[in-house]
Structure 1
Amino acid sequence: MFSTRSSRALAMAAALPWFAVAAHAEPQAPKPATEATRQAHAAVLKALPFNDRQDFEDAQRGLIAQPKELSIRDANGKVVWDMASYQRFIGLDKAAPDSVNPSLWRIAQLNMQYGLFKVTDKIYQVRGYDLSNITFIEGQSGWIVFDPLLSVEAAKAALALVEEHLGKKPIVAVVYSHSHADHFGGVRGIINEQDVKDGKVRIIAPPDFAEHAVSENIIAGNAMSRRAVYMYGAMLPRNAQGGVSAGLGQTISTGQISLIRPTEEVTRTGQELTVDGVKMVFQLTPGSEAPTEMNTYFPQFKALWMAENVTRQMHNVYTLRGAEVRDALQWSHFIEQSLELYGGKVDVEFQSHHWPTWGKERIARFLGKQRDLYKYIHDQTVRLMNEGYNGEEIAEAITLPPELDQEWFNRGYYGTLKHNARAVYQRYMGWYDANPSNLDNLPPVPAAKKYVEYMGGEAELLRKARIDFDKGEYRWVAEALKHAVFADPQNQQAKEMLADTYEQLGYQAEAGPWRSVYLQGAYELRNGVPQGAGMKTASADMISAMTPEMLFDYLAVRLNGPAAAGKKISLNLNFTDLDKHYNLRVENGVLNYRDQAADNADASLTLKMSTLIGIQMGQGTLEQKIKAGEVKLQGQPQAFSDFTGLLDNFNFWFNIVTP
C-alpha cells in the first residue's frame, strides 16, 4: 500500500552546524552609529528598568568554577566555541556602545556569566558552553544529564569541568527534553553508544523524538540553513559593530553534531521514572516550543525543569530562518498546566537556556507572566485579525501592557512582538491578506523596476532616500532602496546606501536575530555573497538515523519537476538489513513510493539501507558499490542514471538581499 508518512517541516530552535566560506580579503568596514540611532538608544535607557539588577544576581548565583578564558577546539584544533571573542569587548563594567541597543547589551552581559553552577542540592548546570545549558543531576551512583548541548566538543568540555570540580562519576542516564539539535547534538561527547547498547546508560525522551529530530533537518534544510546565516550572524565579526548576542545564548557552537537514539520514551503527563534513586515526574508539552517536548518535576529536590517552554525572554512563535509557526495558545496552556501541577511544590525552577528562578512566589510570577505573554500575543492578534487588520497592521499596532512589557524576562531578545504577531496571523490566515492587489502581485524584480520608474528613476529615488536617511527614517529608506537594488543590482550607490540603512536598523535592534539579519544583509551588500562549502544541515548520525521514507521524501523535493515531465521511471529498492522492499515511481513530474516492490520495475537494487545512506553521504558512488558487491543491480542500469539525473543539487549561497 502507499506510504502516507510525510516529513515535517524544519522547526529547530537553533541548529547551525559546520560551514566553510571563502572569506573576503578586505571586507568593507562598518559605519558608526548615527545621531538618530544614539537617540533611539537613549529612549530605551529611559523606557526600561535598568536599575533592576535581580537577573545579574541570579545569573551569578551558585557559581562553582569559571575558566578565565573559554575557547573550545575540535580534534583538528579548530575553534568551535569561543566565548573569549566576546570577553574582549563585553563586560559587566562596560556600558552599551552606541552601536548596540542597551537592552540587547544587557542580555549579552548576562549570557556571558558562564561556568559551573549549583542550582540546588544535587542539581548543577554548565552554562555558557553553547547556546543551551547542560544539566547534571546527582544520583546515588552517577549523573543523570539533561540536554547535552549542540556539539560533541562543547559537551565534552562541560563534562570535563564538572569532573574537575565535582569528581568523576559514571553517567547513568541522559534525558533529551525536546527535538531541537542544541539539546541532544553533543551526546557522544559525554557517553559511549556501546554503554547504551549494553544497558549501562538509559536515554529518555518524549514521544517520537527521533522522528522529529531527524526530519527537522532534511526537507527544507538548504534554504533554512542559508537563512540561518542571517539569523545567527554567522559571518559577522564578534565586536560592538558585529555579533553581540543571539539573545537565547551568545551564539551556537560549530562542532560535531551527534545523535544516539533514545532507549525509552515518556508517553503521558504524570508518568514517573526513578533513575539511580532520583524520582522524575514528566509533563508532555507537544506542539509548544518544539513538536515534541517535556518538562520534568523532581519532588525530592522541589525543583522544576521547564525545558525550553520558558526562558528569560520572549521566544519565537516563528523563527526567522523559517519553520512551521508554533501554537502560542497551546504554549500558554502548557505553562498554565505546569503552574497547576507543580506551582505550589517548587523552590527552584530552571530550564535549558539562561539562569534559574528561586522562591515559590518569584517562580509563580515568572511562569504566570511568561504564560500571559504568549496568550496575550495570541488573543490580541486574533482580536485585531477579526476586526479586519492584516498581519503588517497588527504587528504595527500591537503593544504589550506595561505589566508584561516591563518584565525583563518578556523582552524580545530572540522572538519579537512584531514578528510573533505576524506568525499568529499566518497560522490562522496564511499568506494572503484578502487585498486583491496581493493575490497575484508582481515578483520582486519586475515590481522593483516599476517602483523605481514611478518614483522618478534611480537618481531621484536615491536623492529622496538620502534625505530620509538623514532624518533617521530607516524603515522606509530600506523599503525604497530595496526596490532600487532589485531593479538594478549593479547600482553600487544604491547598494551602499541600503547597507548603511540595514546597519543602523541592526544597531537599533533589541533582538539578537534582528540585529544579525540586518548586519548580515549589510555585509553581503558591501562584500557580495560568500562562496564556499556552505553549511551541513545534518550530521552523520542524523543522516544514518533516516528511515527509508524520510530519504524518499527528501529525494522527492530534489526531483526537478519540469525536467521530469513526460518521463516514467519505476525502481525497486530491496533493503536486506531492514527486510523491507520499496518501489519508487516517477510519473507526472513527481516521485511517489510504495512499501512493496513492483513486478514491472525498470530496475531493482538489492542493498543495505546503510549502503544507500553511505552513498548519500558521499562515501562512494553507486557504481563503486556495485563493483564492490555491496549492491546487486537487476534490469536496466540506465533507469537509475536517468533518475539521478533528474535530482537537483541545491546551491547553498543563493542571493537574499540582491536578486
Structure 2
Amino acid sequence: MARLSLVPLLLLTACGEEPDDNILTRQGNMPATATTIEANAKVPQTLDLADPRDFEDARRGLIAAPEALQITGPEGDLIWDMPSYDFIEGEAPDTVNPSLWRQATLNNVHGLFEVAPRLYQLRGFDLSNMSIIEGDTGWILVDPLTTEETAAAAIAFAREHLGTKPISAVIFTHSHIDHFGGVLAVLGANSDTEIIAPKGFMEEATSENVLAGSTMSRRSMFMYGSQLEHSPRGHVDSGLGKSPAFGSPGIIEPTQIIDTTGQALTIDGVEFIFQNAAGSEAPAELTFYLPQFKAFCGAEVVSRNMHNVYTLRGAQVRDALKWSGYIDEAIHLFPDVEVYFASHHWPLWGNDAIVDFLKKQRDSYAYIHDQTLRLAAMGYTPREIADMVEMPESLRKSFPNRGYYGTVKHNAKAVYQRYFGWYDGNPANLDPLPPEQSAKHYVKIMGGANAILESAQDSFNDGEYRWVAELLNQLVFAEPDNARARALLAQTYDQLAYQAESGPWRDVYLTGALELRQGTPTEGIDLAHAKNLIEKTPLDQFFTLMAATLNGPKADGKHYTLNIEFTDMGETYVLELENSVLHHREGEADPGADATVRITHPLFIKMLIGDVGVKDILFSDDVSVEGGKLSLIQFFALLDTPDPMFNIVTP
C-alpha cells in the first residue's frame, strides 16, 4: 500500500511536547474538539480524582529512583524510556481522559521500594514489577520482567542500594512473557537455581508466542501503541503499566511445579503457601502467601485496574466466573493478610483495605459474568449487552475496578463469546458478506462517497464519533485511497482516543489514526531477539505452526511424507501431507518417505528466525538430505509466509 501522509502540509511539533491548540502533532493528531473537552470535563464530577490514598501508597517505601531510567537494547536501540513520560504531571490536558491521566501519573512513580521488612519491589523498569524476597542466604526473585535488558538494569539497581546477594530462587507467577522473559539476565543460561512455576507453565509460555504469535504481535502494536509518540495526544499509559519492553526475552525450565492450592514450600528459610489459579488471567498462574510477613502476592489475578477477560491483542477468552472464584478463595485462604503486592502496580497495606479491594475485584468479574448471561437470556446481543451493562456504584467508583486496561464493554462481549460464540442468533449475521464487498454496497446505496462524507462531517460536528467511525469505515473499505475519508476517520479516532479511559482503547484508536495517515509500518518485531525463547520451545509446536501456514488450496491433491531427524537431539518427526492437511508425529522414521532431512536443532532455529532460508539449508553442507530435494522444495513452496504487517484499518 502506498504511504499516505498529510503531515508535511502542516506545522508540526516535537515528540513529547504539547502542541498549540490549532496545530497538529508530528503524527498528525488533531486538537480535542468541544465535544471531547466537554466529555472529559464531566469525568471529575463522577470520580474523586483527588483522593490521595493511591498516591500515598504508590510512593510509600521508596528507597531510590534512577535519575533518568533509559535502557538500550542489543543494537543500541532504546527499549525503555521513562523520561519520555515526564510530560505526565499536573492536571489532565483536554486530549486525555482525566481518569486515565490519574492512572498514568500513578504508573509514572518508579524505583526501588521497601514493601515490608525483607520484601522489596522494582517498579517502572518494565511493564511489570520484579519483587525481591530476602531469604536466609539470598534473594528470592518474583517475575524477572520481560527482557534481559530491563531485568539486568533492575537487578543492578537493586544491588546498588541493597547490596549484592546470590539469587536463591526465582518464581514465575504465570505464563505471560512480561513475568519471565528477563530471567537469563539475573541467572545466566546455565544456572542451577531453583525455578518455581505453575503447572503447565512451559507449554503455555511458549505456545502463546508461537502458534498465533505473528497475528498477536501485529495486533499488539495497536493495543500497546508501540508506533505512537509519547505525548498528550499520543501514548500515555497502558493502564497496567507504562508499556511493554521490546528487547531480548528468554526462558528457563522450572525445577519445581505448583499444581495444588495449599501447597507449601520453604524456600531459603521463607515459608510460602501457594494457590494454583490456572485458567484465570493466564492459563498457568499461581498466587502465594508469606505467613511470616502476612503478605499476599496476587500475581495478576488481581491488579489495580479492571483486567481483560478478553485481551485486544487476541488470546483465548478467559473464564470470568472461575477468575472471580479464585479471588474469593484467596480471601478465605489468607484471612490474616496485612500486605498486598502483585505483578503490576503498587502495594496496599492493612487488612480491611486489602479485603475490601479483593472483594471488589472478585465482584467485578462476577458481576460482568452474571449480568451478561442475564441479558443474553432476555435475547440481547453482544453489542447490545456491551452498552447495557453498567457497574453498580460501589464497584464503579472504586479506582482498582476502573477500565484502565480491560473494560466493561469488551469484557461483557467476551463472556458472551465464551458461552455462545461469535454468532448472535440473527440470521443476517450468519453468513454476511466480507467487509470489502458489503462496504461497496453500502456506499452505493447511500449515494456515493461525497454524500457519505457530507453526512459524516455533520455527525462529526455533532460529536457522534462512534457513528462516524462506523460510517466512514464502510467508505474506507470501499475506497481505501479516498484521502478525505481517511483523514476524517483519523480525526474521529483521535477524539475517541482522547475520551477513552482505557489505555489500550486509546492506543488502538490512535494507532488506527496513524495508519490511516501514514500507512502500515514497514517493520515488526525481530524474532532474532527472542532466539533463546524459541530454542526452548518444544519442536512439536513448530510443526503445529507449520500446519497452520499450509496453503490449503495450493496443497489440494498433493501428498508428501517427510522425515525430519534432529541429529543432535535424537528426535525424529514424520510429516505427512494429505487432504490438504499437514500431520506430524514423533517416532520412527517412515521408510517410504519422499525425503529424509537430517539437521541440527540450532540450524533449524536459524531457519525459523529467518537467519537462513529453506533453500540455503537444503543445499548446506551441514544438512543431509536423503531422497528427492525437489520434493522438499515443492513441499516448502506450499507454506505461506505470515505477513507481520498486515492491514487492519484498511482492506
Q: What TM-score, normalized to structure 2?
A: 0.94
Partner of residue 312, structure 2:
320
3-state DSSP class of the match of 1:479? helix
- Paired residue secondary structure (2:218): helix
Asked whether 1:90 is paired with 2:88, we answer: yes
- Report the Cα distance in structure 1 between the residues aligned to 2:400 and 2:523, rounded to whole angstroms: 39
The amino acid of 1:431's aligned partner reads W
Is 531-540 or 269-278 further displaced after alignment? 531-540
Aligned to 2:432: 441
Q: What secondary structure sits across from 1:539 in the alignment? A: helix
Q: 1:641 to 1:23 in 2, by over 3 A?
A: farther
Q: Secondary structure at the match of 1:286?
A: coil
User: Residues 76, 457 of structure 1: CA spacing in aligned structure 2 closer, same or farther, 3 A cutoff?
Assistant: closer
| Other-structure match for 2:144 | 148
Counterpart contact for 1:311–1:409, Cα < 8 Å: yes
Paired residue type of 1:358: W
Please name the residue that 1:585 is paired with: 576
- Give the partner amino acid of 1:569: Y
Counterpart of 1:81 in structure 2 is: 80
Secondary structure of the 1:462 match is helix
- Paired position in structure 1 for 2:119: 123
Post-superposition CA distance 1:111-158 (Å, at most 9, x none)? 000000001011000001110000000011110000000011111111
Which residue of the partner structure matches residue 13 of structure 1? none
Q: 2:359 aligned with 1:360, yes or no?
A: no
Give the Å deviation of 1:548.
Answer: 2.2
- Does the CA-based 8 Å contact 1:218-1:537 persist in structure 2? no
Conserved in 2, the CA contact under 8 Å of 1:22 and 1:530? no
Contact 2:211 2:542 in 1 (8 A): no
Partners of 1:535 and 1:652 within 8 A in 2: no
Match of 1:181 in 2: 177
Deviation at 1:629, TM superposition (A): 5.0
Partner residue of 2:595 out of 603, 609, 632:
603
- Give the corresponding residue for 2:421: 430
Q: Which amino acid aligns with 2:123?
A: R
| Partners of 2:157 and 2:446 in 1: CA distance | 61
Unaligned runs of 5+ in 2: 9-25
1:630 deviates by 3.5
Helix, strand or coil: the match of 1:499? helix
Report the CA distance between 1:622 and its aligned residue. Answer: 5.6
**1:176-255 counterparts in 2 under 5 A?**
176-196=172-192, 201-255=193-247
- Between the aligned partners of 1:282 and 1:128, the Cα distance in structure 2 is 26
Matches within 5 A, 1:499-578: 499-534=490-525, 536=527, 539-578=530-569
8 Å CA contact retained: 2:565, 2:598: yes
Shift of 1:607: 3.1
Q: Secondary structure at the match of 1:219?
A: coil
Aligned mate of 1:392, from 383, 386, 400:
383
> What's the offset of the Cα at 1:537?
9.5
Give, in angstroms, the shift of residue 580 of structure 1. Answer: 2.8
- Which moved further from structure 2: 446-455 or 118-127? 446-455
Kept in 2, the 8 Å contact 1:173–1:203? The answer is yes
Deviation at 1:75, TM superposition (A): 4.2
Distance 1:571 1:105, change over 3 A: same
Counterpart residue identity of residue 394, structure 1: I
Which residue in 2 is equivalent to 1:56? 55
Amino acid at match of 1:90: I
The 1-side partners of 2:618 and 2:217 are apart by: 33
Which AA in structure 2 matches 1:334?
Y
Q: State the partner residue of 1:403.
A: 394
The equivalent position to 1:465 in structure 2, one of 456, 473, 492, is: 456
Residue 478 of structure 1 pairs with residue 478 of structure 2: no
CA distance in 2, matches of 1:391, 1:454: 27
Which one-letter code corresponds to 1:482 in the other structure?
A: N
* Aligned-partner residue type, residue 293 of structure 1: E
Range that drifts further, 328-337 or 617-626: 617-626
Q: Is the CA contact (8 Å cut-off) linking 1:71 and 1:81 kept in structure 2?
A: yes
Provide the rounded CA distance (Å) in 2 between the counterparts of 1:532 and 1:298: 45
CA shift, 1:612, in A, is: 2.1
Q: Assess if the C-alpha contact under 8 Å between 1:217 and 1:537 holds in 2.
A: no
Q: Deviations over 1:199-230 (max 9, x none)?
A: xx111111121111100001111111111111
RCO greater where, 1 or 2, for CA within 8 Å and sep 6 or more? 1
Deviation at 1:634, TM superposition (A): 1.3
- How many residues are matched? 631
Change (3 A) 1:24 1:588: farther
Counterpart code for 2:153:
A
Q: Which residue in 1 is equivalent to 2:66?
A: 67
Alignment-mate amino acid for residue 401 of structure 2: N
Deviation for aligned residue 1:239: 0.4
Whole-Å separation in 2 of the counterparts to 1:383 and 1:508? 29
Report Cα offsets for 1:39-76 as digits up to 9, x if no partner. Answer: 10111111111232110010000000012221112343
Quick check: 1:382 aligned with 2:373?
yes
CA RMSD, 1 decimal: 1.8
Q: Residue 14 of structure 1 aligns with which residue?
A: none
The 10-residue stretch of structure 1 (259-268 or 331-340) with the greater mean CA deviation from structure 2: 259-268
2:549 aligned partner, one-letter code: R
> Does the aligned pair in 1 maintain the 2:5–2:518 contact within 8 Å?
no
Q: Which runs of 4+ in 1 moved over 6 A?
A: 21-25
Which is further off, 253-262 or 617-626? 617-626
Whether the 8 Å CA contact 1:260–1:541 is kept in 2: the answer is no
User: Contact between 2:565 and 2:597, CA under 8 Å: does it hold in 1?
Assistant: yes
Instruction: Give how far 1:535 is off.
Output: 5.1
- 1:386 deviates by 1.0
Aligned to 1:160: 156
Q: 1:457 to 1:621 in 2, by over 3 A?
A: closer
AA aligned opposite 2:641: N
Query: 2:39 maps to what in 1?
Result: 40
Residue 454 of structure 2 aligns with an amino acid whose one-letter code is R
- What is the match of residue 11 of structure 1? none
Sort the Cα spacing of 1:436 and 1:626 in 2 relative to 1 into closer, same or farther, 3 A. Answer: closer
Q: Are the aligned partners of 1:222 and 1:537 in contact in 2 as well (CA < 8 Å)?
A: no
Question: How far off is 1:611 after superposition?
Answer: 3.3
CA distance in 1, matches of 2:637, 2:536: 26
Q: Following TM superposition, by how much is the alpha carbon of 1:534 offset from its aligned partner in structure 2, in angstroms?
A: 4.8
Q: C-alpha deviations, 1:228-282, integer Å up to 9, x for none?
A: 1110111110000000000000111121111112122122111111111111111
CA–CA separation in structure 2 for the residues paired with 1:23 and 1:266: 53
Name the structure 2 match of 1:644: 636
Partner of 1:29: 28
Q: Which moves more between the two structures, 347-356 or 72-81?
A: 72-81
- Residues 7 and 28 in structure 2, CA contact (< 8 A), matched pair in contact too: no
- Work out the CA distance in 2 between the residues paired with 1:505 and 1:221: 28
For residues 73-128 of structure 1, give each alpha carbon's deviation from its aligned partner in whole angstroms, at most 9, with x where no partner exists.
234332110010001x112xx10000000000000000000000001011000001
Q: Residue type matched to 1:555 in 2?
A: M
- Consecutive unaligned residues of structure 1, counting only runs of 5 or more, are 1-20
More displaced stretch, 263-272 vs 333-342: 263-272
> 1:105/1:233 Cα in 2 relative to 1: closer, same or farther (>3 Å)?
same
1:620 CA drift (Å): 3.9
Tell me how far apart the structure 1 counterparts of residues 481 and 606 of structure 2 sit (CA, whole Å): 43
Which residue matches 2:480?
489
- The answer on whether the counterparts of 2:4 and 2:519 sit within 8 Å (CA) in structure 1 is no
Percent identity, please.
50
Output the CA distance in 2 between the equivalents of 1:131 and 1:489: 35
Whole-Å separation in 1 of the counterparts to 2:389 and 2:621:
64
* TM-score (normalised: structure 1): 0.93
